[in-house]
């Protein structure tokens, strides 16, 4: 089934995780512009990560095309977008996953707000996705709802289902538009699936999703809901999200969410009515497996990667040490308060902006 048929039937759709941070750590992406030349330079690395997310339980593989538009990649953009589609499709064909072609905010909007030029940039990527016959389209990582609306309007031109996610928190977009109003404008623009991605951790993202859901309800509108948060805890970041934290991007490891955190996130997202649940930067394959395992009762199956994972630490019951065997239970991991091992570090930071 396609993405809308799955969601319309009430199915839980598990998204994939983050590519930029994971591939940067593995030595295949350069921080800064965060452009995805790796699909051409190191296709085996991108293929491997797609494969890991699929094995972990992802129902959707997004093309690795973040920041792959003409405004950032100049003459490279077309080859990168085509290669990204081929890699995602190759891996998806080995499972039951859908392929989503992804675009993101441009580098131009903040300075020019030229609707015609920006829409033409989106159309260039869309042309590749249409030729490659991706299953649906995602406009992600938008700070401003106006540009996100433009993206939705362009993506709708080929008739494929359209998802859109903004990188905003409970305070709304960078122009002060509330999450509820953002959701309303995106729905009226024609988006089928609406939500947030990146910039904020699990709990902040779910707060924003609640506000979006309420905005749609109050306006009498309906849309499927989608959340793909950071794999980091960011309760101390401001309106701009984790990019304003002093640890961004190379010192975020102490903030990484545990698999148990992500199981809680998946359950709370589900209880909120969100049915497309995945992750963004910092989300590793084991985080995606945690979503798939938490929602296995609703989905009716476990992912292949669970073959090597004891649910709630159950594999520890074979350990030789009794105090470790005692950890083979849900109650232990659900109530654990993990230490950072850094006695002179603060628990929270002060954003630089």
| Beta partners for residue 146, in sequence order | none
**Contact call for residues 118 and 149 (beta carbons, < 8 A):** no
Q: Enumerate the H helices of 142-258 as residue ranges.
A: 145-155, 179-189, 202-218
Q: Is 94 helix (H, G, I), strand (E, B) or coil?
A: coil
Q: Is 139 helix (H, G, I), strand (E, B) or coil?
A: strand
**Contact call for residues 99 and 85 (beta carbons, < 8 A):** yes
What beta strand segments (E) does 58-184 contain?
60-62, 98-104, 136-142, 162-166
Question: Count of residues for the chain?
Answer: 353
Known binding-site positions for Zn(2+): 198, 280-281
Burial class, 1, CB count within 10 angstroms (exposed 0-12 / middle 13-18 / buried 19+): exposed
Known binding-site positions: 198, 280-281
Residues 4, 224: Cα–Cα separation, whole Å = 9
DSSP letter string, 228-265: EE-SB--TT--TTGGGGSTTTTTS-GGGBPPHHHHHHH
- Other CB atoms within a 10 A radius of the CB of residue 325 amount to 14
**Contact call for residues 183 and 152 (beta carbons, < 8 A):** no
């Amino acid at each position: 089934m396609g993405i809308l048929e799955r969601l319309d039937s009430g199915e839980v759709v598990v998204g994939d995780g983050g590519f930029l941070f994971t591939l940067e750590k593995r030595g295949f992406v350069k921080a800064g512009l965060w452009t995805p030349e790796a699909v051409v330079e190191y296709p085996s690395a991108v293929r491997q990560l797609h494969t890991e997310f699929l094995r972990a339980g992802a129902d959707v593989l997004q093309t690795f095309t973040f920041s792959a538009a003409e405004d950032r990649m100049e003459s490279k953009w077309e080859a990168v977008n085509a290669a990204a589609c081929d890699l995602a499709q190759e891996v998806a064909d080995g499972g039951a996953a859908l392929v989503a072609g992804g675009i993101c905010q441009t580098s131009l909007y903040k300075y020019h707000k030229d609707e015609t030029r920006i829409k033409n940039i989106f159309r260039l990527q869309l042309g590749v996705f249409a030729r490659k016959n991706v299953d649906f389209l995602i406009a992600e990582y938008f700070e401003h709802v106006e540009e996100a609306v433009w993206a939705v309007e362009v993506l709708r031109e080929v008739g494929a289902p359209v998802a859109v996610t903004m990188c905003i928190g409970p305070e709304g977009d960078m122009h002060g538009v509330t999450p509820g109003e953002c959701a309303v404008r995106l729905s009226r623009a024609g988006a089928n699936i609406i939500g947030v991605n990146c910039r904020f951790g699990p709990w902040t993202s779910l707060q924003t999703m609640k506000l979006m859901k309420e905005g749609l309800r109050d306006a009498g509108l309906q849309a499927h809901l989608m959340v793909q948060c950071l794999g980091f805890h960011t309760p101390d970041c401001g309106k701009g999200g984790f990019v304003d934290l002093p640890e961004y991007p190379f010192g975020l490891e102490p903030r990484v969410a545990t698999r148990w955190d992500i199981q809680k996130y998946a359950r709370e997202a589900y209880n909120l009515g969100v049915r497309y649940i995945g992750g963004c930067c910092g989300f590793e394959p084991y985080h995606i497996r945690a979503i798939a395992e938490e929602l296995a009762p609703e989905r009716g199956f476990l992912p292949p990667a669970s073959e090597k994972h004891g649910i709630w630490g159950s594999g520890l019951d074979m350990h030789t040490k009794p105090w470790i065997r005692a950890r083979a239970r849900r109650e232990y991991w659900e109530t654990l308060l993990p230490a950072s091992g850094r006695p002179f570090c603060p628990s929270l930071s002060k954003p630089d902006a």
